[in-house]
Amino acid sequence: MSAQPFTVLIVEDEAALRRVLERALAREGHRVLSAASAETAYDLLSSERADAALLDVRLPTMSGLALYLALIHRSPALVGRIAIMTGDAEAENVRAWVERNPCKVLHKPFDLREIVEWLRLVLEVSSRERGNA
């Protein structure tokens, strides 16, 4: 019996980058949910469940940082399973936020292998929790 694929949420407003991430993660065997805005992602997760999430920091209207807080409030199991993606990780607001809310920071431009490896580690823990180890 094959294990059920893990579901990964991608929230990225740049369509081309979102598609690259979708294809790369689908090739790794993940089920991918994607959204171009924080609001769409939050609504999507009212009817879907994600095992991990990749959030762009700069999104229209609501930031990925605000979405992170909303997601972990709704689904505490996502703590430690969310990474933020940013081209400006050294910005004061991002650094200060990460100090208060420790999570993986993926620096743009990033290497897809870094994302795949981070997901592998995070989902390996999730797999053990599911009892699939």
Segment 12-67, tens digit of pLDDT? 999 999 999 999 999 999 999 999 999 999 999 999 999 999 999 999 999 999 99
Q: Note the pLDDT of residue 124.
A: 86
Global pTM reads 0.89
Q: Are 65 and 57 in contact (CB under 8 A)?
A: yes
Q: In the chain, what are the domains? A: 7-130 (3.40.50.2300)
Is 60 exceeded by the pLDDT of residue 133? no
Is 70 exceeded by the pLDDT of residue 123? yes
